[in-house]
Amino acid sequence: MRRILTLALCACCAAPAIAADMNITVEIPSLKVAEYHRPYVAVWIEREDHTVAANLAVWYEMKKGDGEGTKWLKDMRQWWRRSGREQSMPIDGVSGATRPAGQHRLRFADGKPPLGTLAPGHYELVVEAAREVGGREAQRIPFDWPAKAPVHLSAKGSEELGQIDLDINP
Amino acid sequence: MKHTLARAAFCAALVLPLAAQAHKMWMVPSATVISGDDAWVTVDAAVSNDLYYPDHFPAKLDQLVITAPDGSPVKPENAATGKYRSTFDVPVPQKGTYRLALVNQGMFASYEVDGQKKRWRGTPEEFKGAIPAGAKNVAVSEMASRVETFVTQGSPSDGALKPVGKGLELVPVSQPNDLMAGEKATFRLLLDGKPAANLKVVAINGATRYRNAQDEMDTTTDSDGKFSFTWPAAGMYWVNASTEDSHTSVKEAKNRRLAYTATLEVLPQ
């Protein structure tokens, strides 16, 4: 009994030390179009006043010369307005090359960049995709931070985004 | 012929403020929100009936003043004037907001000598001695108009947007390259650097050729010169105000015509 109590106590003490984390799955749908280019995708967290709490991912064409890759960043209109236009690319630990169609898993830990430490409150996860000679779409998932228990949230895109999953572990 | 055309264009520009419903002067940039340091914009400038289809006269590019975010002047590249429109390119290497302006300031006079009708145009400095002694039916007026548009690379800035203090000018309260459909935008109009109060301002979305109505929105500036529009849809809006006063540079001119026009791009949410 005493041992169990000790164990329980340990678990209680240990819990806050295990950092909360956030797992995000972004699905890029495969599209049957004549001219396909991988989409530019931005993933970020917005506060209630729409200011950006954290940029989590920006996938864009990094290899092209002559600034041709950065030229289209503004097509992710919401991200560009909220945060992108303030950034100098590439963003360390955030930006990366465009990705193919399929599901892409991202994991972020509390207290570590790029998520950092979020103040307790109400937020929105925003995923925006813009495709050359294609369309543009943004999906939002509201969530509270920190979570008291594991939370699973999702949104479904209709054109340029597929299933978006957000799992928060306290 | 060329002269006649130029004069006709000039006259069109002169009567523009008072006949804004007939001909509209504008500049339309190929993009207003830009990312990347190597970016350029290409701009069309014309006087037309429909927005933004060049169908009347090209704008005169000798009036073009481009200001970079750091306040320095920028020279247009590849400038050309065609039958119906003028066009030019602008490199936008600096981060911030560029102001592109067609500044038209001048005087014009009409008079008769020996029963012959004559016309004169020029600057207030050139006016002295311009009208021959003994001329009859002398009518002199002055005009100041400004046709503008804005382009921002990276984050908006206001270094290029400082008012000159002459004629009708727009001072942003809302950033002119941060406009979204459904949102309210506020600006301030100044007349010779002071609030232009109680002035009617109109806004018309472009692509008028593809609808039956102009769908003109209008509002009036408050005592501080401020006015607002809530953009009903995305598009390239033509925003215009005009007025007249008697603050002329030379006593022979009875009145001064003033106009301000901006092309403002509103993006979808």
| CB-based contact, B30 to chain A, within 8 Å | no
Separation CA B54–CA B95 (nearest Å): 31
pLDDT at B28 exceeding the cut of 90: yes
Give me the residue from A66, A78, A80 closest to B35, CB to CB.
Answer: A80
Residues of A in contact with B178 (CB under 8 A): 81
Is A2 domain-assigned?
no
- Give residue limits of the domains in chain B: 2-106+140-267, 107-139
pLDDT at B9 exceeding the cut of 60: no
Residues of A in contact with B35 (CB under 8 A): 70-74, 80, 84-85
CATH code, A153: 2.60.40
Q: Looking at residues B29-34, what average pLDDT do you find?
A: 97
Separation CA A127–CA A28 (nearest Å): 11
Separation CA A99–CA A56 (nearest Å): 15
What are the pLDDT digits (tens) for B176-192? 999 999 999 999 999 99
pLDDT at residue B243, rounded to an integer: 96
Residues of A in contact with B269 (CB under 8 A): 78
CA quadruple A60, A62, A65, A70: dihedral positive or negative? positive
Give me the residue from A73, A74, A81 closest to B178, CB to CB.
Answer: A81
The CATH fold of domain B2-106+140-267: Immunoglobulin-like (2.60.40)
Q: Are B150 and B100 in contact (CB under 8 A)?
A: yes
Per-state percent for chain A, helix, strand, coil, to nearest 5: 20, 40, 45
The angle subtended at Cα A87 by Cα A85 and Cα A89, nearest 5°, is 115
Give me the residue from A71, A73, A86 closest to B155, CB to CB.
Answer: A86
**B233: Cβ–Cβ under 8 A, 6 or more apart, which residues?**
B181, B205, B266
With residue B126 as reference, give the H or E element that holds it. helix B124-127
Is A1 domain-assigned?
no
Distances (CA, A) of B234 to A137, A149, B181, B218: 16, 42, 5, 17
pLDDT at residue A18, rounded to an integer: 63
Confidence at A65, pLDDT banded by 50, 70, 90: low
CA neighbor of B29 nearest in space, from B39, B21, B14, B20: B39
Least confident of A22-26, A101-105, B18-22, B34-38: B18-22
User: Which CB contacts under 8 angstroms, 24+ apart, belong to B113-120?
Assistant: B119/B7
Separation CA B35–CA B28 (nearest Å): 18
Give me the residue from A70, A78, A81 closest to B36, CB to CB.
Answer: A70
Q: Are A128 and A157 in contact (CB under 8 A)?
A: no
Is A13 domain-assigned?
no
pLDDT at residue A63, rounded to an integer: 78
Asked if B39 and A77 come within 8 Å (Cβ–Cβ), the reply is no
* Count of the separate structural domains present in chain A: 1
Residues of B in contact with A86 (CB under 8 A): 154-155
pLDDT at residue A5, rounded to an integer: 47
Complete DSSP assignment for A9-22: HHHHHHHHHS--EE
What are the pLDDT digits (tens) for B112-171? 999 999 999 888 888 888 898 889 999 999 999 999 999 999 999 999 999 999 999 999
Asked if A71 and B155 come within 8 Å (Cβ–Cβ), the reply is no
Least confident of B10-14, B61-65, B122-126, B200-204: B10-14
pLDDT at residue A68, rounded to an integer: 79
Residue B32: closest C-alpha in chain A: A74
- Expressed as residue numbers, the domain containing A63 is 18-169
Complete DSSP assignment for B91-138: E--SSEEEEEEEEEEEEEEEEEETTEEEEEEE-HHHHTTTSPTT-EEE
Is A70 domain-assigned?
yes
Confidence at B250, pLDDT banded by 50, 70, 90: confident
Q: Which residue has the higher pLDDT, A13 or A21?
A: A21
Copy the structure tokens of residue B96: 């911030």
